[in-house]
Structure 1
Amino acid sequence: MTDLRPINAALGILVAVLGTMMLVPAIVDLAHRNDDWIVFTVSAAVTTFVGCMLWLTGRQNEPSRLTVRQAFLLTSFAWIVLSAFAGLPLMWSQVGLSFTRAFFETMSALTTTGSTVLTGLDGMPPGILVWRSMLQWYGGAGIIVVAIAILPMLQVGGMQLFRTESSDKSEKVLPRVAEISNRIIMVYVALSLACAIAYFAAGMSAFDAVNHAMTTISTGGFSTHDNSLGEFKSGAVDYIAIVFMIAGALPMLLYVRMMAGDRLALFGNFEVRLFVAVVLAFALTSVLQQRLEGVNSGEQAFRFALFNVTTMITTTGFATTDYAPWGATSDAIYFLVMFLGACTGSTAGGLKTFRLAIVGGTIVQHLKRTIYPRGVFPVRYGGKPIGDDVAASVMSFLFLYLLTFVVVALSLNVMGYDFKTAYSASIACLANVGPGLGPIVGPAGNFASLDDAALWLLAFAMLVGRLELFTVYVLLLPRFWAR
């Protein structure tokens, strides 16, 4: 039987922190003379109380290491429990969402997906807007720590590759995982502050700048306006967003190594170089497509292309323009980009660049073996051979990822949603991108018109996509719960 005490203790701390965070939007609403400050205060009291009770039930005299089974449970339960409590203000405030819609909104926030069921953001109580942004920022910080400290240990989808890599290098710089996590959070905060200052300098109000900084670095994509960043109609804002979306989509551990004196840690990294090359390749393709369609030209075509590719591949989901009128080719480009994702150990979702590189290497390996059956051709990543277990894990992840995408999309189709809505909503939530394609869930729409069954299905897709699939699916196996 699995000992739940360490799980309860860790969950209790996370829930109590969440409850304490609710006091920030309470203060914001109080300053704006909005009665929702009472809702946030009550929600904070309830959430913090439950968190403390969980911690007390799990407290042990001596700290113990999490087992692999406990780590699987904690990782999945954390996002589910936090999403449930984070939705309390959305249900009890003027917004008045149902539990289903509140859970969808907060799961979208904490997984940094950015899909939303809320409309009329421009007239929304300021506390609610701040709360959504804070949830994405909190979720982004959480997934970075999970990706560095937990997923490599669980050997999920090839992540064991980074357990070896980080231990070989980071132990010489920072000996303990806790210390590394603290340094990473410092980098995360510093990037957020720099982004907020840049937005403010570009003409945003302080309120908008802080909110958008939190959702940019977390690659979450929530905005304080229905028109997202398109509300500002500013090239400067667009370019600032591009820079910091990419900053949030790069491995946070590499920033720590740069701080420790390794100047080439970031741009000498194979995954980073490949990621930047992919972004530029798709951006140039989009520029060419716009020119051929005759919709945009010059600097505007380049900016729109680079922004849209960046917001999709980093799984941020900001929007500055509706690209639906650009034609079917544009939809195809952005649909493909949704799958890709950014770098490991970042706030971004998707397949991740390192997996795409390993898939490509595995295909090349099999082609060579077809020509030279007796040859030895190891799969290489960044010029170094990797184990067959890593390649097999990545290929299994890819298969399960595509299977999940198809099952969710077909289920939405059966519910009555059209092809474009069903398939783009499926990948938008599974890859934690946010907006899909088409008039319903595209950049000019949202998820408000979807029924409850569809929202629960997509919330599940967000969760499994954010936690690398196997982390959640393993809980569905009867053997996992056996003695």
Structure 2
Amino acid sequence: MVCGAVLLCNCVMGVTLIYLDSLPPLHQTLRMLDFRPAGYVIGMLVVALGAAMLLPMIVDIVTQSGHAGAFAVSAFITCISGAVIALACANAAEGGLTIQQTFFLTTGVWLVLPFFGSLPFIFGATEARFVDAFFEAMSGLTTTGGTVFTGLDTMPKGLLFWRGLMQWFGGIGVVVMAMVFLPMLRVGGMQIFRTEGFDTFGKILPRAAEIARNISSIYITLTLTCMVAYAMAGQSFFDAMVHAMTTIATGGFANYDASFINLGAATEYIAATFMILAALPFVRYVQFMGGSVTPLFKDSQIRAFAMTLLVVVVMLTLWRFTFVTQSGEFAFRKALFNGVSILTGTGYASDDYMLWGGFPITIFFLIGLIGGCAGSTTCSIKIFRFQLLFASIRAQIQRIHNPSGIFQPRYERRPVSEDVISSVMAFFMLFMVSLAVLSIALGMTGLDAVTSISGAAAALANIGPGLGAEIGPSGNFAGLNDGAKWLLSAGMLVGRLELMAVYVMFTATFWKG
């Protein structure tokens, strides 16, 4: 069903079948393409995921929840499987990666890891079916935040910790992908952030390791600071730890069915602050730690994100104060927390905003499609693409007024190449078509229009909650049919990898080598 959903999108785009007749014979294709280097990396990451399962096992032992065996079995299966994959591909691990291998690695990691990440949910206290366990793991590792589980308040702490840990790993993986892989793959205009001196695919893995080392200290520092702040606001050590991980990852998995509704005003302000910090480009933090303060304040993405957030919070605050509540501070706090949560794609909720009225619901739907800055843990379309879109529109209007003039879109005062603009336009078109196709597909499974459209948007933009009584801020995805869950899982994968990184693998040209 997952592959079927992706194939459906590509059929609509008309790119899958165009070149089938020109494909070389299968044995020639296999000789031309060697995915073992990517397989080796995937295998090692699977081993690392299996080793990470020992941490929630320890949590389960300490809390005496009685489900440590489920993590032990899951860790054993995962580590053995990853080791087998890595060993089978080890003889081809030397050297760099080709463009095909890089695409395969990028997609393969986010497809294979959720498969193994689902095992604790299958063997653990939830005894989940595979479709539910895979949905939860995919939602965790892609930092989407939609859940199919109820009774979180009484769920064993080992499983709650595993949910948070998956999102935390997914968050740092997203930053590395956005800073290394997507610019190299020229996906959706991300090549505008490509770093000079790292233009060859042969250097992509050393570059990823270098960036991972640089951002790890920043990522861990933000997490620890957030955890301390949560603890000082009254949360237990365990809640503060898990919520800090899912806040910095902008993932949104909470330890309670009611999310942040009953956690207090101080917690809401702290969460909003750290969600904003996690939505900024992590490379600016690295530069800041290196003594360069200017880029953090001069980054046009950050300024545009701050302005967008300000407008959203002001509008929601005024609406709540006028039509919902007469308390100014309460209106501001709810508008700030929930506005930041949806804009950054975190997905926490401190109120049922479905009860605020039609205007706020529309705002929440639209801002979920904006997202934060490129190079952060956030998701969705991203601020910089809207900046490039508006720059392109402005240049086009100028050409209409002055046909003899030369006008070129500019980003941060630098001219933007036609290659970047066309990539961004293609991304916008592909995103909208994917949203339409996924919405129709969800409707065909029996979901109503609001659930289908908002669910598709929540999956593709990796927001978490949708709209409506079923999947809105006061609900979850547990009641959806299996077909809808598989489709949404596919949407989460495609959206997290910025569409083209997945879709390109379903073209005949890719498999030509």
- Alignment TM-score, normalising by the size of structure 2: 0.91
**Letter aligned with residue 444 of structure 1:** S
Distance of 1:111 and 1:177 partners within structure 2: 18
Kept in 1, the 8 Å contact 2:35–2:104? The answer is: no
**Matched residue, 1:324:** 354
Kept in 1, the 8 Å contact 2:198–2:207? The answer is: no
Alignment of 1:57-456 (within 5 A): 57-60=88-91, 63-164=94-195, 178-232=209-263, 234-456=264-486
Kept in 2, the 8 Å contact 1:225–1:231? The answer is: no
User: Residue 406 of structure 1: CA displacement?
Assistant: 1.1
Structure 1 range deviating more: 48-57 or 111-120: 48-57
Kept in 2, the 8 Å contact 1:28–1:127? The answer is: yes
Distance of 2:238 and 2:275 partners within structure 1: 19
CA 1:4 to 1:296, structure 2 compared with 1: closer, same or farther past 3 Å?
Answer: farther
User: Residue 265 of structure 1: CA displacement?
Assistant: 2.2
Distance of 1:183 and 1:100 partners within structure 2: 36
Distance of 1:246 and 1:437 partners within structure 2: 23
**Letter aligned with residue 230 of structure 2:** Y
Q: Percent identity?
A: 45
Distance of 2:147 and 2:97 partners within structure 1: 34
Determine helix, strand or coil for the equivalent of 2:194: helix
Determine helix, strand or coil for the equivalent of 1:58: helix
**Matched residue, 1:24:** 55
**Matched residue, 2:7:** none
Kept in 1, the 8 Å contact 2:180–2:207? The answer is: no
User: Residue 369 of structure 1: CA displacement?
Assistant: 1.4
Higher-RCO chain (CA-CA 8 Å, sequence separation at least 6):
2
User: Residue 7 of structure 1: CA displacement?
Assistant: 1.2
Distance of 1:124 and 1:229 partners within structure 2: 17
Query: Residues 216-257 of structure 1, C-alpha deviation per residue, up to 9 Å, x if partnerless?
Result: 00000001100111131x111001001110111111111000
Distance of 1:277 and 1:62 partners within structure 2: 46
**Letter aligned with residue 241 of structure 2:** V
Query: Residues 298-338 of structure 1, C-alpha deviation per residue, up to 9 Å, x if partnerless?
Result: 01111111111100111000010001111111110101101
CA 1:181 to 1:166, structure 2 compared with 1: closer, same or farther past 3 Å?
Answer: farther
- Alignment TM-score, normalising by the size of structure 1: 0.96
Kept in 2, the 8 Å contact 1:116–1:448? The answer is: yes
**Letter aligned with residue 404 of structure 1:** S
CA 1:382 to 1:91, structure 2 compared with 1: closer, same or farther past 3 Å?
Answer: same
For structure 1, list consecutive stretches of 5 or more residues without a partner in the other structure: 169-174
Query: Residues 419-460 of structure 1, C-alpha deviation per residue, up to 9 Å, x if partnerless?
Result: 211111111111011001111100000000001100111111
Determine helix, strand or coil for the equivalent of 2:100: helix
CA 1:19 to 1:33, structure 2 compared with 1: closer, same or farther past 3 Å?
Answer: same
**Letter aligned with residue 272 of structure 1:** I
Matched length = 476
Distance of 1:68 and 1:293 partners within structure 2: 54
**Letter aligned with residue 244 of structure 1:** F
